[in-house]
Amino acid sequence: MEKLANILAYEMNAWRGYLISHLVESHQEAGWEDDWAVLDRACGPGIDTVLFHNCLSHAALFPRRRAELERRIAERGIRLLNAGLADMRKRTLHMMLERAGVRCARAARQGPGDQLLFVKTNLNFGGKAELALPPDLQPLFSVSPDCPIRAWNDYRLLRRDEIDPLWWDNPDLVIENYIAHDDTLYRVYGCGDMMICILAHSDDLIKKEDEHPEDRWFHLDRRDMWAGGGDLPDDLRRQLAGFTALYPFDYFCLDVVHDGANHTIIDLNLTPFCGVQQPKGQWLGLLRRGLHDLTRR
């Protein structure tokens, strides 16, 4: 599949195997101390769009001069994808969902003692990307050294009456309702107005989309999300439509879990990973077209 030549991914340890690497040709490694000269050189002839692409949950803080770089990009007349939208922390996502008036997994402090709840870090994937930073940068991005959960494989599925009361007010943690029905989840990729929703299968406690033989995918257009119809549940459409109407990301990924009837967005990712090998589904070409149409507007 021909890749887009007009978009530069300005990335930090986030190229090979990431979805963007299957969609665009050019990338430039980002460094903490980068100044405008670095990005100016990378934006050669033909580059009219830039995507800041790093896996840090609070990506708005990287590089150190990010605000200046974004301003200089605008002054050159270059489009910046996801401008102003670069905070993927769990607590931020909870606030975004509630502001959009859609369902949120945030657990209430009071409730049945035997209700199962999920305790996670506020950082995506247990802060794995943050732990890969140089030691002098980790205090700015990582959870505090005394955080009781240090990695994604240390997430806790506990009854409410088993949770340490201090954890509810720990800014490094989030406590969510445990939502499950069967082995399925929905992963939604968005590029411009083009959205691909994959009904994925996973037996893991922390479910991930990994091209299971039984997976199915559906094409959605952001502009007619409220229209209904098709094979997707109406409740899922309403959750996606409500969220993306208020937060019109240019390039994104959402994970959605369900209990058989109600669907809940539990993860926002602006740097989705999909594997070194190009995905087999024809949906990749549709996402490429979505990015192309977005940057031609």
Render pLDDT for 179-211 as a digit per residue (tens, 0 to 9): 988 889 999 999 999 999 999 988 765 656 666
- Give pLDDT tens digits along the chain (297 positions): 699 999 999 999 999 999 999 999 999 999 999 999 999 999 999 999 999 999 999 999 999 999 999 999 999 999 999 998 999 999 999 999 999 999 999 999 999 999 999 999 999 999 999 999 999 999 999 999 999 998 888 999 999 999 999 999 999 999 999 998 888 999 999 999 999 999 998 876 565 666 667 889 999 999 888 777 778 999 999 999 999 999 999 999 999 999 999 999 999 999 999 989 888 778 999 999 999 999 998
* Confidence (pLDDT) at 210: 63
Q: How far is Cα 184 from Cα 215, in angstroms, rounded to an integer?
A: 9
Q: Coil, strand or helix: which one is 284?
A: helix
* Confidence (pLDDT) at 230: 75
- DSSP, res 82: T
Contacts of 88 (CB under 8 A, 6+ apart): 57, 58, 59, 124, 268, 269, 270
* Confidence (pLDDT) at 62: 96
| Angle at alpha carbon of residue 239, lines to 238 and 245, rounded to 5° | 85
Whether the predicted model's global pTM rises above the 0.75 cut: yes
Q: How far is Cα 124 from Cα 257, in angstroms, rounded to an integer?
A: 16
* Confidence (pLDDT) at 129: 94
Cβ-in-10-Å burial (0-12, 13-18, 19+) of 14 comes to: buried
Pairing of strands 173-177, 156-159: unpaired
- φ and ψ at residue 283, rounded to 5 degrees: -65, -20
* Confidence (pLDDT) at 207: 54
CA atoms within a 13 Å half-sphere pointing along the CA-CB vector of 128: 10
Query: Using a CB cutoff of 8 Å and minimum separation of 24, what contacts does 236-245 make?
Result: 236/186, 236/197, 236/263, 238/102, 239/102, 239/103, 239/263, 239/264, 239/265, 240/188, 240/195, 240/197, 240/265, 242/100, 242/101, 242/102, 243/96, 243/97, 243/100, 243/102, 244/190, 244/195, 245/100
Contacts of 189 (CB under 8 A, 6+ apart): 19, 195, 196, 198, 252, 253, 272, 283, 287
Token code pair at residue 128: 């794995």
* Confidence (pLDDT) at 39: 97
